[in-house]
Amino acid sequence: MNNFTRHALCMALATAPLSSYAVDLGTYHGVDLNLTLQVNRALMYADDGNDTELFFVDNINSNTRFNLKAETVLEGGTKVGGQFEAEYPSNSSYSVNFDNKSTRPELGERHMEVWFADDWGKVTIGQGDGAANGIMEMDLSGTGVINWADPSLLGGGIQFNRTGPTIGSTMNNLDFESRYDRLRYDTPNFGAFGIALSQGVKGSSDITEIGLRFNHTTDSGLAFKGGLGYSTENTEDGNAAGDENTVGGSVAVLLPGGLNAAIAIGKSGDDDEANPDAEFKSAKIGYKTGKHAVSLLYAITDDRAQQNDQAEAVSLGYVFAVRKGIDLYASYKVHSLDRDGEDFEDISILTTGVRLKL
């Protein structure tokens, strides 16, 4: 039995099912309170063509976190709510590498926001998702916890040829500006369609985003989910990069029998001629039945780190939904980098773990 097979066997045995419970905080003065917890731990075995290493990580595809939500209804029928969600990943799957197998856990903000919703739509203020966040990540495969739209989140800190560029610096799915302090407005749905707008601040930059989403399931069980987004990051005066503009979208389809597919295309660039405009393309095909889901993802990022770079990733992922709130998963993926004048060995990564949602 070779080293790779032995590690795979040990990893499979190490991820056994766990039990879960729910925390119901009840209703106080007309406000419903709810607390949810999530722990997502995994073993990640990497081979960079010269060395191998085993990591104990927090799976950043859907990391360890806790979330406190509050919601009430005003006399006129307007709903008011808020949430406080923070993450606490130990040994981030994106940060560990061959020289640093452990990273310190850090408490990070995800959502600190208040919202108002009625027939006119929804207004949200505070730290949270921008209007286009997630639009590059539409997925109906049931495998997002291990075969996410951005392959770099597992092993992003690992370097090609040990001292070369990292996976994360060359591969990214360009999913807009994520979470930041903003004012966001979501329109009411127009049939299967909805529009969101947001304006906010991320670091020292002003962010403007717009997102169009659609979600529809036919009477026969055929499901569609997709979106198109645009964002502009206005940097500080005097910054050579100037404005960074990102545009892209994705669409996913699920057939009644469980066969599903998704594609994503995006592009991002700024005003600095020395920085290449990055492009991302991906395609996923999957199948799910009962508690089982499997998918194959192929992704390409061009020119992210430097001109004429082409980073590719092929990933096969499997999820077993033991019961609601407990997912066992495994994946095998290969990252490659084609760069002018250099020769990089492929990086292969085997991951298996468990996500527990309380």
Taken in order of first residue, the domains within the chain and their CATH numbers are 3-357 (2.40.160.10)
The SS3 assignment for 51 reads coil
pLDDT of residue 85: 96
Residue-wise pLDDT for 8-62, tens only, equals 444 443 444 433 444 778 888 889 999 999 999 999 999 999 999 999 999 999 9
pLDDT at 237: 59
Residue 337's contacts (CB-CB under 8 Å, 6 or more residues apart) are 160, 164, 165, 170, 309, 310, 311, 312, 344
3-state secondary structure 103-129: CCCCCEEEEEEEEEEECCEEEEEEEEE
Select from 11, 110, 32 the least CA-distant residue to 65.
110
CA–CA–CA angle 154, 335, 260 (5° rounding):
75
pLDDT of residue 167: 98
Tokens coding 187: 């329109």
293, 321 Cβ separation under 8 angstroms: yes
Tokens of 153: 């989140």
Q: Print burial letters for 87-115: b (CB count within 10 Å at least 16), e (below 16).
A: bebebbbbbbbbeeeebeeeeeebbebeb
Q: Is 323 exposed, middle or buried (0-12, 13-18, 19+ CB in 10 A)?
A: exposed
DSSP class per residue in 155-179: TTTPBTTTTS-BHHHH-----TT-E
Q: Rounded distance, CA 128 to CA 282, Å?
A: 26
Copy the structure tokens of residue 272.
């600095």
Task: Report pLDDT for 238.
Answer: 52
Alpha-carbon separation of residue 89 from 58, 66, 282 (angstroms): 6, 11, 27
Answer yes or no: are the C-beta atoms of 276 and 310 closer than 8 Å: no
The predicted-structure confidence for 237-271, as pLDDT tens digits, reads as follows 556 567 899 999 999 999 999 999 999 999 999 87
How many separate helices (H) and strands (E) can be counted in the chain?
Answer: 2, 19
pLDDT at 23: 73
Instruction: Note the pLDDT of residue 235.
Output: 74
Q: Are 213 and 227 in contact (CB under 8 A)?
A: yes
Ranges in the chain, pLDDT < 50: 1, 4-5, 8-22
What residues form DSSP beta bridges with 58? 41, 92
d(CA 107, CA 113): 17
